[in-house]
Amino acid sequence: MLILGIETSCDETGVALYDGKRGLLAHSLYSQAHVHAEYGGVVPEIASRDHVRKLIPLLEECLNKAGCGRNDIDAVAYTSGPGLVGALLVGASTGRAMAAALGVPAIAVHHMEGHLLAPMLEANPPAFPFVALLVSGGHSMLVEVAEIGSYRVLGETLDDAAGEAFDKTAKLLGLGYPGGPAVAKAAEKGDPDKYRFPRPMTDRPGLEFSFSGLKTHTRNLFQKHQNEPNAVEDIAAGFQKAVVETMVIKCRRAMKQTRCEQLVIAGGVGANRMLRKSLSEAGRKFGWRVSYPRIEFCTDNGAMIALAGYYRLQAGQTEPEIIRARPRWPVRELASLA
C-alpha cells in the first residue's frame, strides 16, 4: 500500500510517500521559516498562502524522487489538526481532493500522533509499551503509549509549550526566529552556570510542565545583565540547561511511574542536541532504551503523517468524504485503532 502524506499545519510544507512493505520511499520538505523571520514569528495568513504555492510542486518533486506516478498512490493521509486553521485547510482540501480524484481513501491524521510515531521511521524502532516526551512549538507532554492508537497523557504543560519557551527566549535575546535552533547555537558559546535558573515544577510531585515562570526569570536576568560581556550566550546556555534538566527529571519520574523501559523523544524540541544527549545519558544510567527520530523528522514533515496514516488505514479506518480541519484537537480525543 502506497500512502501519500501531506503536512501543512504550521510553517513547513511536507510531502512523503510511504510504502507498507518498502518503508519510506521519498519525502520533500519546504520550510517557510525565512518568510516569517522578518515578523519574528509565524504569520498565519502568509503561511496558508505559501502552502498553496508550494504543495503541488513539492508533491511532483516527491513523486519524481520515488519514481512513482499519481496513479500509484493507494491512499492519502493529511494533517487534520491541531494547527493553524488556514494552513491546515490547504493540506486537507488538497489531500481530500486528490483522494477523490484518484478514487482512493483519505485519512485525517492527528499532527501529534505523527510526531509520536516518527521514531518508527528509523531502522531500530522503539518497542511498545513506551513513554513519549512530546515537545514541540505547541505542545509539551508525557504520554504513555501501550500500542499505536492507545495513548494516556501523563502530564502536560500548564502554560507555554517547550518550543514556545525557546522561541520567546530567542526573541527576548534578539536571536530571531525560529528560536530553538538559535538559542541552541548561542548556548554553545555560553556558560550555563553563570546565572542561576530555576527547574520549574520539579520541587513537587507530578508530571506537569510550566515554562512561563522560567520565561519571566529569563527576562528579568536579561534586563539586569544585558550589558555584561557574553550575556546573551550565557543566558541562552543557562536557559537551555534549565529546560533540559527539567525534562530529564520529569522523564525519569514518568519512567518510574509507568515502569516502562523505553523512552521516545519526539517533536521539534527533540531536535535539541543537549536534550538528546542528556536523555541518552539518563537512559544509560537508569537502564532505559531511548529512541528519537533523525533530526529532520523531529520537526514537522510529511513522512510522519504518511506513517501515522498508514497504521490507521491498516486498522481499517477511513474518513467520510469531507474536508476536515481541526485547529484544536486534544490527544485525549484520538480514536483507538481497535
50 binds ligand KG4 (CB under 6 A): no
Please tell me whether residue 138 binds ligand KG4 under the rule CB under 6 A: yes
Considering the rule CB under 6 A, would residue 293 count as an interface residue with ligand KG4? no
Q: Does 184 bind ligand KG4 (CB under 6 A)?
A: yes
CB 227 to ligand KG4: min, Å? 26
Restricted to residues 188-227, the positions that interact with Zn ion (CB under 5 A) are none
80, 218, 258, 272: residue in contact with ligand KG4 (rule CB under 6 A): 272
Nearer to ligand KG4, 130 or 211 (CB): 211
Residues 112, 239 contacting (CB under 8 angstroms): no
Closer to ligand KG4 by Cβ: residue 4 or 112:
112
- Per the CB < 8 A criterion, the answer to whether 293 and 270 are in contact is yes
The interface with Zn ion within residues 88-147 (CB under 5 A) comprises 136
- Which C-beta is closer to ligand KG4: that of 186 or that of 254? 186
Nearest distance from residue 298's CB to Zn ion, in Å? 9
Residues sharing a CB contact under 8 Å with residue 278, sequence separation 6 or more, in sequence order: 244, 245, 247, 248
**Quick check: 180 binds ligand KG4 (CB under 6 A)?**
yes
Tell me the window of 60-68, 141-149, 172-180, 319-327 that interacts with ligand KG4 (CB under 6 A): 172-180
Residue of 174, 197, 184 whose CA lies nearest to 245: 197
Q: Binding of ligand KG4 at residue 86 (CB under 6 A)?
A: no
Who's near 216: CB < 8 A, 6+ residues apart? none
Which three three-digit cell numbers place residue 150?
Answer: 492507545
Radius of gyration of the chain (CA): 20
Please, which residues have CB within 8 angstroms of residue 164's CB and are 6 or more apart in sequence?
137, 138, 211
Would you say 16 and 62 are in contact if contact means Cβ atoms under 8 Å apart? yes
Q: How many residues bind Zn ion (CB under 5 A)?
A: 2
From CA 251, how far away is CA 45, in angstroms rounded?
Answer: 37
| Distance (Å, whole) CA 318 – CA 1 | 14
Among 200, 267, 293, 302, binds ligand KG4 (CB under 6 A): 267
Residue closest to 328 by CA, chosen among 22, 111, 56: 111
In single-letter form, the type of residue at position 200 comes to P
Query: Is residue 268 at the binding interface for ligand KG4, with CB under 6 A as the rule?
Result: yes
Q: Which residues bind ligand KG4 (CB under 6 A)?
A: 10, 136-138, 163-164, 166-167, 178-181, 184, 267-269, 271-272, 299-300
